[in-house]
Amino acid sequence: MIVLAPAWSPTTSLLLLLLLLSPRLRGAPDCSFPHSPISSTFTSTIGKLSDYLLQDYPVTVASNLQDDELCGAFWRLVLAQRWMGRLKTVAGSQMEKLLEAVNTEIHFVTSCAFQPLPSCLRFVQANISHLLQDTSQQLVALKPWITRRNFSRCLELQCQPGKDSSTLLPPRSPGALGATSLPAPQAPLLLLLLLLLLPVALLLLAAAWCLHWRRKRQRMPYPGERESTSQERGASWSRQRGPPLQSPPGVKKVRGI
């Protein structure tokens, strides 16, 4: 009995290859959104939180994220969502509701399986008003493309090349929300300022001492000048007293009276 094998056409090979390269079949995580998760009221929601918060509350923002046209806005929303979650743990009941509302607007980023933050990522300290304003801008930039792009290649945050060795502030844990603590000045900057001011202070001190010494020398006469001055003062006093009194004629001086 002869069994005929099915013909193997190039079209069949191409279809099989496409199936093997499909992300879902390979087990690769998918990060796409058939329906837009960005609401039309996110600007108002972020504005309410911004009005309620102290604008100088310190947070940290990434300073060396890669400028990627597709993933840049997505990465910044990932970092902002992490801050919303951290702030909720230290906020009061009223503040927690506002933070949760903002967190709801950007929580869709957690549906994608992001990799842990890379060690090259660096952070700088900023005010929370800057973070909220940037979050609103990223949502505006992402909204037209959220349903038209696949963000599967954005699941690992990338750093700008050549900027991973900069000495910047690391992210710090938030304190009680509502405190107005400001970033402390760096010790090397204070030391440099003291080193610059020390010579100026020494020069001013030396100039003041020289001026005081010169004035003291001008007021203090030399020994020869001091003796002549005493004689002149005695002569002046004698002239003021006039000639010594003399007894009238015929009157004898009586001693003891």
pLDDT digits (tens, 9 = 90+) for 162-193: 754 444 444 444 444 543 333 343 455 566 66
CA-to-CA dists, residue 214 to 20, 30, 49, 169, 225, angstroms:
97, 86, 67, 53, 18
pLDDT in tens, the chain (257 residues): 454 444 545 554 544 444 444 444 444 578 999 999 999 999 999 999 988 877 778 999 999 999 998 899 999 999 999 999 999 988 888 889 999 999 999 999 999 999 999 999 999 999 999 999 999 999 999 999 999 999 999 999 999 987 544 444 444 444 445 433 333 434 555 666 677 788 888 888 888 888 887 777 776 655 555 555 555 555 555 555 555 545 555 555 545 44
Alpha helices in 107-222 (DSSP H): 128-142, 187-219
* Domain parsing of the chain, residue ranges: 42-154
Instruction: Give the architecture-level CATH label for domain 42-154.
Output: Up-down Bundle (1.20)
> Which two three-digit tokens encode residue 19?
């199936």
